[in-house]
C-alpha cells in the first residue's frame, strides 16, 4: 500500500467516525484529522508524480514478445 493510499484510508476512517460522533468537539477533531490526512495524501501523490521529475507517461510498446 502506498503512502497516498494509507493517508486516504485514514482520512476515510476519520470521516466515518465524525459522521457517527454525537459530541460536537470530538466530531470537529475527527473532521480536522480527516482533512489533514487528505492533504497528506495529495502531497504524497504530487511528490511521487512522474510529472514532478519532468517524466512523461509514454505509451510504451513491449517489443519483447
Q: Work out the end-to-end distance of the chain between its first and last CA atoms, rounded to an integer number of angstroms.
A: 30
Q: Residue 16: name the closest of 28, 1, 32, 34 by CA.
A: 34
- On whether residue 45 sits in a domain, the answer given is yes
Asked if 16 and 49 touch (Cβ cutoff 8 Å), the reply is: no
- On whether residue 63 sits in a domain, the answer given is no
Using the Cα atoms of residue 8, residue 15, residue 35 and residue 25 in order, give the sign of their dihedral. Answer: negative
**Does residue 62 carry a pLDDT above 90?**
no
**Does residue 65 carry a pLDDT above 60?**
no
How many domains is the chain partitioned into structurally? Answer: 1
* pLDDT, tens digit (0-9, with 9 covering 90-100), for 31-57: 999 999 999 999 988 876 555 445 555
Asked if 37 and 7 touch (Cβ cutoff 8 Å), the reply is: yes
Rounded to 10°, the helix 24-47/3-20 angle is 160
- On whether residue 65 sits in a domain, the answer given is no
Residue 31, domain extent = 3-53
Amino acid at each position: 500500500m502506498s503512502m497516498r493510499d494509507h493517508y486516504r484510508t485514514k482520512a476515510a476512517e476519520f470521516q466515518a467516525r465524525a459522521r457517527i460522533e454525537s459530541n460536537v468537539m470530538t466530531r470537529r477533531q475527527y473532521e480536522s484529522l480527516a482533512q489533514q490526512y487528505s492533504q497528506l495524501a495529495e502531497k504524497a501523490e504530487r511528490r511521487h508524480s512522474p510529472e514532478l521529475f519532468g517524466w512523461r507517461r509514454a505509451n510504451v510498446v513491449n517489443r519483447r514478445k
